[in-house]
A and B are shown apart, each in its own frame.
Chain A
Amino acid sequence: NAGVMQNPRHLVRRRGQEARLRCSPMKGHSHVYWYRQLPEEGLKFMVYLQKENIIDESGMPKERFSAEFPKEGPSILRIQQVVRGDSAAYFCASSPPKPGQGGETQYFGPGTRLLVL
């Protein structure tokens, strides 16, 4: 059973370009979460999505950032007009749809390291 997959693993962009980060959840999982980790800091929640729905985007920057999780295909985190401050590791996690006792565990992917030059 493959784990959460993210690609690319490393992404280099120049200021002003767009970055697209992809996340394929574990098989059978329909809940996806995105977290960002700035250098030397802990992970910060960004957004929680279910298929075709954004459930909580309270951690997303107000501008330039968007996320989607279409009916088919991976979840996409999109950053428009990147700036140097966007350089970070972006992690995706997934959890299964059926609520268990107290909710379901989130499993993380290996992350995408974004470097903005």
Chain B
Amino acid sequence: DAKTTQPPSMDCAEGRAANLPCNHSTISGNEYVYWYRQIHSQGPQYIIHGLKNNETNEMASLIITEDRKSITLILPHATLRDTAVYYCIVRVAYSGGSNYKLTFGKGTLLTVNP
């Protein structure tokens, strides 16, 4: 299964940008990267996904290096409610199909401090 490397924990001051790194040494050209977060023990919440280009939505931005081995999630103005475990996932697609299963690692515990 595809595996990503994330720091186990990070701190961020409220109102500042939170930059969460994710590395993958063997990602291939057609493998998408997804970010989810899990607040306390709630169900994982989808944040954003991308392939090659940088992406932005109402929640976050995704910065992908040209070799695609480094993927950074940016929360532009972190709030206390953004405290959660953030998972960077390189999804594993089923051959011949477009659906896939998600392989979760340990993620990064982001703590936003007042």
Contact = CB atoms under 8 A, between A and B. Distances in A.
B96 to A, nearest CB: 11
B107 A56 contact: no
B34 A43 contact: no
A69 interface: no
Q: Classify the interface of chain B: helix, strand, loop or mixed.
A: loop
14 contacts: A42-B105, A59-B101, A102-B30, A102-B32, A102-B49, A103-B32, A103-B93, A103-B98, A105-B49, A107-B46, A108-B44, A109-B43, A110-B43, A111-B43
Given A42-B105, A108-B44, A56 B94 contact: yes
Interface in B24-50: 30, 32, 34, 36, 41-46, 49
Nearest to B97: A99
Interface residues of A, number: 29
Interface of B: 30, 32, 34, 36, 41-46, 49, 51, 87, 91, 93-94, 97-107
Interface of A: 4, 31, 33, 35, 42-45, 48, 55-56, 59, 89, 91, 93, 95, 99-100, 102-111, 113
Contact of A45 (B46, B98, B99, B102): B102
Given A103-B91, A103-B100, A104-B99, A42 B43 contact: no
Contacts, number: 66
B98 A102 contact: yes
Nearest to B98: A99
Nearest to A105: B46
Contacts of A111: 41-43
A43 B106 CA distance: 9
Given A42-B87, A105-B34, A108-B44, A99 B99 contact: yes
